[in-house]
Structure 1
Amino acid sequence: MPPTIRLFSAFPFILLVLLTISTKIIASENPFKVDGKVLELDESNFDAAISTFDYIFVDFYAPWCSHCKSLAPELDKAAPVLAGLKKPIIVAKVNADKYRRLASKHEIDGYPTLKIFVHGVPTEYYGPRPANLLVRFLTKFVAPDVAILDSDSAISEFVEAAGTYFPIFIGFGLNESMISNLAVKYKNKAWFSVAKDFSDNIMTSYDFDKVPALIATHPTHDEQSIFYGPFEDKFLEDYIKQSLLPLVLPVNEDSLKSLKDDKRKIVLTIMEDETDEKSKKLRNVLKAAASANRDLIFGYVGVKQWEDFAESFEVYKKTQLPKMIVWDGNEEYYSVIGSESIEESDPGTQISKFLESYRVGSVIQKRISGPTLMGFINSQLGGKYFFISILVLLVIITLIITMGKEEPLTVGTRDQIDHSRNVPSQPEARESRRATDKED
């Protein structure tokens, strides 16, 4: 048989061998089984997973964390839905308490910490955690940077699909290239779109009378603002950054995270109860002030809702509320001289006076350990180490007390005299323990 014929007859076998080899190569390049279940990652395969999948959502958890245990079934429900998207999002988890070097590399300081890696670049996730809402929010990361809307119905459908958690930007009469770079930059914080075709009814419903116009809406807070330009990068970005938050932000553990990258000072109003009627009326006055002072963030917190946080700003039972301060978001804040509390009679004038005095520097600068420290203690990770520290302190105190209960010395000996010189008096000992307790 000629060599050519022999080679041709062996071709099916060669093809089968090549297919087998290629299958093994592909399998070795992607060792992860994508079946809609949550992947378990560790230090040996984490980097490979991040480089393999374009979109991967990672839960850094600790087995002892109660919030992590509550989140796990939600991730199990969301995983198959997200894996079935046109652009799949893979859900994975890492035992960050066990693999601490990996956790440290990704700056994990509390449990659970959720991050989505888009082409290897991580973004921390602050959205809701129920499975259905989690799917809706994560779908945003695989959506177009700027949605193109070509009819009234397309606008309505876009707003409906976007939900209520993130602000929504709609550019009327704008070319997508004008906002595309900013849409990429702020994609994890807002929805962006441009409307190419729309009716007069849409203009009426969104309350704008000329184009181009960029509308920012906050569905949750029932707020809307309009920007008519100039549509230059600096002015446009300033408007977008200032519109990412509602005019007056309710301050809680989740919303504090949204302030992480915002450099503006926070005008914080501390109320007795943020849900009562007086507080609701005051918030409307604060909105007017916030609208005219966009270089500041306006926020509020109720003592009833978050007492520990409020006490960080010297709020006690006898403090007259509402109280206003200007906070840098970290450990320093400013008390405005003569304008701390707001009386019910004329809050608008008092708030204007407060802001005027702040801007001319009529303030007392103070320092707190509250928000940063409280954030650490309130996190699951911080809580663990906090209680361990307390336990260690109690053990040390017990040992000191036990060591103090020695056999009494004979009256009049030098040993007893020396010993009595070294032992503090009872008031001194109590004062020492108070100082130690306060420091811990």
Structure 2
Amino acid sequence: MQLTMASVAGRWSRAVGLCTTVLLLDMAFCKGFVEDLDESFKDNRKDDIWLVDFYAPWCGHCKKLEPIWNEVGLEMKNIGSPVKVGKMDATSYASIASEFGVRGYPTIKLLKGDLAYNYRGPRTKDDIIEFAHRVSGALIRPLPSQQMFEHVQKRHRVFFVYIGGESPLKEKYIDAASELIVYTYFFSALEEVIPEYVTLKEMPAVLVFKDETYFVYDEYEDGDLSSWISRERFQNYLTMDGFLLYELGDTGKLVAIAVIDEKNTSIEHTRLKSIIQEVAKDYRDHFHKDFQFGHMDGNDYINTLLMDELTVPTVVVLNTSNQQYYLLDRQINNAKDMVQFINNILDGTVEAQGGDSILQRLKRIVFDAKSTVVYHVLWNLHS
């Protein structure tokens, strides 16, 4: 019996050793497609397009990104991308990092000639690769045929199209694209390329295609083109997370969120989500300019953001630009209730809570300190 146990133990040890070796070889293989950059990068980079991770050796978030970054390097090589993937220790080469505007770690940038584009999206392999593909390509991509338009429409949930010839509007479109290409795709087409269901009152025109329909930019109603694109680059209804809420801060909109438990199939949770979806769709013309709609799974993030304890399910309306929020003191049972809530926010009859005043900042310091203490107590209890 002892011999058998020893034999099993030996086999197990060899298996673990083999798995460890394979894992290390796999990690080394992936790392082989990410170049370690040094001071020579400053002079040699302009002949190529580079996707660079500026990191600090002591940074926890940087260490978490490292295996993902290695996968990005491998995938970019496999798909034959012209973009080279590298990483630079921004503490060892601080002057170069500073020249590229690196202020924190990790910082991801795509460097293309004299241009440097910041990546602010989720730190996932697919999202980073999508960013690199979008930004490294043409600023305005032509749609020469209806077939190409249909292909783009199937691939992208939101995209913008300029229709027409040379014009002052096209110049504004190019300027907006150069600023916002980090977020979305920009195309150009002739009128005969767009679908027959699209009706244009005048040419040239800028359109956004999303939510299974389209919307036309109106300079008189919508104001600055770049601001309009910033507002319209999101679908009308979103599944919210912390990253998206941060991004929505640039739109100037209030964000109406159904905070639910997606695993809970009870009528209270599913109904609230449906109500928000209904208002987002049916009242777009009334509220789209001022409100973004969506839902969030769970209340952990919202509770931390608001320094409050929200009961799930509930609806909260956030002002992401000044950290104010609105809560209703009664249950929302239908779309009519939600519309009334929104109108009361607009006319000022619902009082805003929170904000970024000195008092609120002090409250945040105390809240964060208490949260840290609770975390360490729970950690010690379970260790």
Alignment of 1:266 with 2:254, yes or no, is yes
User: How many Å separate the matches in 2 of 1:309 and 1:170?
Assistant: 36
Q: Taking structure 1 as reference, are residues 247 and 69 closer, same or farther at Cα in structure 2, changes over 3 Å only? A: same
Aligned-residue CA RMSD in angstroms? 4.1
Query: Which position in structure 1 is the counterpart of 2:144?
Result: 150
User: How many Å separate the matches in 2 of 1:225 and 1:76?
Assistant: 36
Alignment of 1:90 with 2:79, yes or no, is no
Query: Which position in structure 1 is the counterpart of 2:16?
Result: none
1:71-82 paired onto structure 2 within 5 Å: 71-80=68-77
Query: Which position in structure 1 is the counterpart of 2:116?
Result: 122
Tell me, yes or no, if the aligned pair for 1:267 and 1:327 is still in contact at 8 Å: yes
Q: For structure 1, which segment, 129-138 or 143-152, has the greater mean C-alpha deviation from structure 2 after superposition?
A: 129-138
Alignment of 1:316 with 2:309, yes or no, is yes
Query: Which position in structure 2 is the counterpart of 1:283?
Result: 276
Query: Which position in structure 2 is the counterpart of 1:254?
Result: 243
Instruction: Give the C-alpha shift of residue 359 in structure 1.
Output: 2.6
Q: Taking structure 1 as reference, are residues 158 and 293 closer, same or farther at Cα in structure 2, changes over 3 Å only? A: same
Tell me, yes or no, if the aligned pair for 2:318 and 2:326 is still in contact at 8 Å: yes
Instruction: Give the C-alpha shift of residue 77 in structure 1.
Output: 0.9
Q: Taking structure 1 as reference, are residues 132 and 121 closer, same or farther at Cα in structure 2, changes over 3 Å only? A: same
1:349-364 paired onto structure 2 within 5 Å: 349-362=336-349, 363-364=351-352
1:389-428 paired onto structure 2 within 5 Å: none
Q: Taking structure 1 as reference, are residues 268 and 60 closer, same or farther at Cα in structure 2, changes over 3 Å only? A: farther
Write out per-residue CA displacement over residues 57-115 of structure 1, whole angstroms, 9 at most, x where no aligned residue.
11134555552233133133134357x55xx322110234666676677444344x322
User: How many Å separate the matches in 1 of 2:36 and 2:183?
Assistant: 28
* TM-score of the pair, normalised by structure 1: 0.60
Alignment of 1:241 with 2:241, yes or no, is no
Aligned AA (2:233): L
Match of 1:327 among 319, 322, 334: 319
User: How many Å separate the matches in 1 of 2:278 and 2:308?
Assistant: 22
Paired residue secondary structure (1:145): coil
User: How many Å separate the matches in 2 of 1:169 and 1:139?
Assistant: 17
Q: Taking structure 1 as reference, are residues 173 and 72 closer, same or farther at Cα in structure 2, changes over 3 Å only? A: closer
Query: Which position in structure 2 is the counterpart of 1:181?
Result: 175
Instruction: Give the C-alpha shift of residue 199 in structure 1.
Output: 6.0
Aligned AA (2:135): F
Instruction: Give the C-alpha shift of residue 320 in structure 1.
Output: 6.7
Q: Taking structure 1 as reference, are residues 171 and 369 closer, same or farther at Cα in structure 2, changes over 3 Å only? A: same
Query: Which position in structure 1 is the counterpart of 2:37?
Result: 41
Alignment of 1:137 with 2:131, yes or no, is yes
Aligned AA (1:76): G
- Displacement over 6 Å in runs of 4+: none
Aligned AA (1:240): I
Q: Taking structure 1 as reference, are residues 267 and 199 closer, same or farther at Cα in structure 2, changes over 3 Å only? A: closer
* TM-score of the pair, normalised by structure 2: 0.67
Query: Which position in structure 2 is the counterpart of 1:307?
Result: 300
Q: Taking structure 1 as reference, are residues 284 and 79 closer, same or farther at Cα in structure 2, changes over 3 Å only? A: closer
User: Structure 1: any 5+ residue segments left out of the alignment?
Assistant: 1-35, 378-385, 395-440
Instruction: Give the C-alpha shift of residue 196 in structure 1.
Output: 1.3
Query: Which position in structure 2 is the counterpart of 1:418?
Result: none
User: How many Å separate the matches in 2 of 1:133 and 1:334?
Assistant: 30
Equivalent residue pairs, number:
323
Tell me, yes or no, if the aligned pair for 2:261 and 2:312 is still in contact at 8 Å: no
Q: Taking structure 1 as reference, are residues 310 and 211 closer, same or farther at Cα in structure 2, changes over 3 Å only? A: farther
Tell me, yes or no, if the aligned pair for 2:259 and 2:316 is still in contact at 8 Å: no
Aligned AA (2:156): T
Tell me, yes or no, if the aligned pair for 1:53 and 1:90 is still in contact at 8 Å: no
- Higher Rg: 1
Instruction: Give the C-alpha shift of residue 271 in structure 1.
Output: 1.5
Query: Which position in structure 2 is the counterpart of 1:215?
Result: 207
User: Structure 2: any 5+ residue segments left out of the alignment?
Assistant: 1-31
Write out per-residue CA displacement over residues 252-273 of structure 1, whole angstroms, 9 at most, x where no aligned residue.
133234235x151423324222
Q: Taking structure 1 as reference, are residues 158 and 164 closer, same or farther at Cα in structure 2, changes over 3 Å only? A: closer
Tell me, yes or no, if the aligned pair for 1:286 and 1:298 is still in contact at 8 Å: no
Tell me, yes or no, if the aligned pair for 1:57 and 1:114 is still in contact at 8 Å: yes
Instruction: Give the C-alpha shift of residue 290 in structure 1.
Output: 4.9
